Structure 1
Amino acid sequence: MITVYLNTPPRPTNLVLDLGASFTLMDCSSAAYHHSSSTPCGSSFCSSPPCIKVCSTDSGPLLSLTGKPPLTGQPFIGSLSMPITDGRNPGRLGLIPKFVLSCTERSLLKGVIAKDAAGLAGLGRSNLSIPAQVSNFTSQNSVFALCLSGSPSAPGVAFFGSTGPYFISEIDLSKFLNYTPLLPNPSTSGSTVVSYANPSNEYFIRLTDIKVNGKAIDFDRALLRFNGKGNGGTKLSTVTPYTTLQSTIFTALTEAFVNESAALNLTVTGAVKPFRVCYKADDVMSTRVGPGFPTVDLVLQSDEVIWRIFGANSMVRIFRDDADVWCLGVLDGGSHPKSAVVIGGHQMEDNLLQFDLESKRLGFSSSLLVHGTMCGNFNFTTNNNLIVM
């Protein structure tokens, strides 16, 4: 989740980060939802077409959401504030006075947002997403970076409108980024409809191979390409907890992982749902990059561009009365999923990801644990000398 400040006076509000949502969606009944603004029909909030016209009349909902469950949204204009930063510390709040959100009932958000969230923070490819509206108001680059914390007690950090520096533990993480193109979904990339879970609003990258301990796994690489109907490809999703793979890719990965783990004298134990491959925690060594397991490499467009996944991101610790195990944190997505590979939130933790919409590329650091730091180490001590925008 992300904490932003809505309305005047600013009210802290928790929203679920959603890379696939094209606009910010609020629970109308939440404490943060209080607005009295109105907007003339035909008002437009974008710098270049296709523009989205916003009307806050009683004639019916403007924005239709097509995800599951079906949602409808009534737009409104509020204000959004976030702390300004020099890359090292947060400062005073910067205000966007005319921020476009959409409103719905909490009952329609059941299963979509966490109980302590007031809505969804839209980060998708849209003129109404948070990155786009920040860029439009500040005339800064349309870029944002996420550093999701793997710690249950220390928050991570998100940066909007800046290509860096991003300082954590006095290390500029922007220097560790490798880059791969951000791809549109070719079947729907020309859509002008603003909708939730529209593939054209989501972020895809070109995955060409998967390796375990440096060895390529055996599966049909054609599954990684778009099939012309909007299916296939590799998507990034903050609302998908664990990386999900098409069934044959899942089988190939888990078999290779089990074989490579056996070489480390690790023996599979009883599975713990929803995971299929688990190991007794007592048998596993600890390292600075998490539990000692084989590495998983996501090969992006060439063997020189690799997103390396260490134990901290590949494995999930399950500790309860009847089990203390490490489980491989990937799930079987079925034979015909919409996307062949969905890289989930757990695999993004303690990795810096930069979504540069100007250059149409994704910057990725791989695990920050390699550099002796993590996303939860950002210094949130306030620097009141920073100016407001």
Structure 2
Amino acid sequence: MSRSFKFIFVFSIFFLISSSVSQNPILPKAAILQVTKDLSTLQYVAKVSIGQNLDPVNLVIDLNGPFVWFDCGKSISPISSHKTIKSFSLECSMAKSSTTTTTGYNSKTCTLQAENTISRMSTFGELNEDKVALNFWDGKDSDLFGNIDQFLFSCAPNLLLKGLAFGAKGMLGLGDSRISLPSQISNAFGFFQRKFSLCLSSSKGAILIGGSPHESEISSSMMYTPLIFKKNEGYHLNVNSIKISGKKLSLHEKGILGTKLSTIIPYTTMESKIYRTFVEAYVKASNSMNLTLVPPVAPFEVCFSSKGVEKKRVGPNVPIVDLTLQSDMVKWRIYGRNSMVFVSDEVMCLGFLDGGLSTKDSIVIGGYQLEDYYLEINLGNSMFGFSSSLLLGQKKCTDFDLSREL
């Protein structure tokens, strides 16, 4: 009996029992994880229940992380059912083939190099498997729970937790690898699509794997662009141009701008030359709207007075930023809600930062710019989907918090 078949079999029994009142078997359409934003670190955190006792473990979301890792000693109760994966096993081979993070050699156990992508620290940890309980949506109800009995993750030492949000015990990888969370769920439940969606906010949001209860409501506003896969460097897009208040920036010498998506950095960064051109154009556009520059507030370099600035559904009335993708018809429009950061009652700052001269990526889109957009990463067809700002339809990503406590 194959591994995937065993997953489906266990899961189906669980839902047949759960739905005994209606006498109809229930097949889930999506797995749902609640996401909260830690305001002190600006990191996004999800809770996963793992082990024999289904201990809750808080994990910082890393959109590009290859797998889940955490401090098993502090996160799992002593009666844990987790099992160490042996070297030369099929599971070990799969894990090592799905990531180029350095793998350690041990004659008995499978080890992977786990990385804290915030502190940039890394260390070896043993590959383990254990039961994971998840919240599911079946098309009508989101109060359903099911288990994956053989979920793979890496155990890491406590020292790797430095820099993570208070209470977080590791990181949850959503990257394009065979042992990332979305891949393992899709493999476990063969009827799931190989895609996941992300809806972040300044408070609560959700990760939805396989489908979404709100897909039909927002599908009309979704646009799609190809995902560019740079080997082991995460999810990328090609940005053809940047416009501010409808005017295209002069960035011809750069050509296509390699752009990375990230939940690890709080604000979008740009390569220094691009950033200087961007800031110059933004200040010029703000002058035409009678915005008043004020002294900068770190880490931001450009700040404005918010006195008298009109507040709209999509945030303060400031210059609109467009990231044009494969054509002028496909653009990611950033309104004031996602371009301005209020640092006080009277001061707002441009939430884009100088990423330096020597950067792997021309642009890295950070968490603040991702908030209150519905984002879809489809691993099946290598496409990235994004909605217009949900605030235009008087929605927020808090509306996508459908998960319940186990």
Instruction: Look up the match of 2:189.
Output: 138
Instruction: Look up the match of 1:194.
Output: none
Of residues 381, 385, 388 in structure 2, which corresponds to 1:359?
Answer: 381
Counterpart CA distance in 1 for 2:337 and 2:180 is 31
2:239 counterpart letter in structure 1: L
1:123 counterpart letter in structure 2: L
The answer to whether residue 301 in structure 2 is matched with residue 255 in structure 1 is no
Closer, same or farther: CA 37–345 of 1 in aligned 2, 3 Å: same
Contact 1:156 1:375 in 2 (8 A): yes
Closer, same or farther: CA 96–372 of 1 in aligned 2, 3 Å: same
1:166 counterpart letter in structure 2: H
Contact 1:41 1:55 in 2 (8 A): no
1:248 counterpart letter in structure 2: K
Instruction: Look up the match of 1:195.
Output: none
After TM superposition, give the deviation of residue 90 of structure 1 in Å.
2.1
Q: How does 1:279-358 map to 2 (within 5 A)?
A: 279-319=304-344, 324-358=346-380
Instruction: Look up the match of 1:192.
Output: none
After TM superposition, give the deviation of residue 176 of structure 1 in Å.
2.3
Partner of 1:114: helix, strand, or coil?
coil
Task: Return 55-64 or 254-263, whichever deviates more.
Answer: 55-64
Task: With the length of structure 2 as denominator, give the TM-score of the two structures.
Answer: 0.80
Give the CA RMSD over aligned residues.
Answer: 2.8
Q: Relative to total residues, which structure has the larger helix share, 1 or 2? A: 2
Instruction: Look up the match of 2:218.
Output: 173
Task: Return 255-264 or 89-98, whichever deviates more.
Answer: 89-98
Of residues 273, 278, 293 in structure 2, which corresponds to 1:268?
Answer: 293
Q: Describe the superposition over 1:125-181 as per-residue Cα deviations: whole angstroms up to 9, x where unpaired.
A: 10010000001000122110000013x3xx10110122x4426xxx72233211000
Of residues 194, 203, 207 in structure 2, which corresponds to 1:158?
Answer: 207
Task: With the length of structure 1 as denominator, give the TM-score of the two structures.
Answer: 0.83
Contact 2:114 2:154 in 1 (8 A): no
Q: Return 5+ residue gaps in structure 2 as ranges.
A: 1-44
Of residues 68, 72, 80 in structure 1, which corresponds to 2:124?
Answer: 72
Of residues 222, 225, 228 in structure 2, which corresponds to 1:183?
Answer: 228
Counterpart CA distance in 2 for 1:75 and 1:56 is 12
Contact 1:77 1:99 in 2 (8 A): yes
2:83 counterpart letter in structure 1: S
Q: Give the aligned length.
A: 353
Instruction: Look up the match of 1:92.
Output: 144
Instruction: Look up the match of 1:19.
Output: 63
Instruction: Look up the match of 2:167.
Output: 116
Instruction: Look up the match of 2:265.
Output: 240
Contact 2:224 2:384 in 1 (8 A): yes
1:364 counterpart letter in structure 2: F
Contact 2:87 2:109 in 1 (8 A): no
Closer, same or farther: CA 244–58 of 1 in aligned 2, 3 Å: same
Counterpart CA distance in 2 for 1:217 and 1:55 is 47
Contact 1:242 1:331 in 2 (8 A): yes
After TM superposition, give the deviation of residue 39 of structure 1 in Å.
3.6
After TM superposition, give the deviation of residue 89 of structure 1 in Å.
4.9
Closer, same or farther: CA 328–105 of 1 in aligned 2, 3 Å: same
Closer, same or farther: CA 311–104 of 1 in aligned 2, 3 Å: same
Percent identical: 37
Contact 1:224 1:341 in 2 (8 A): no
2:136 counterpart letter in structure 1: I
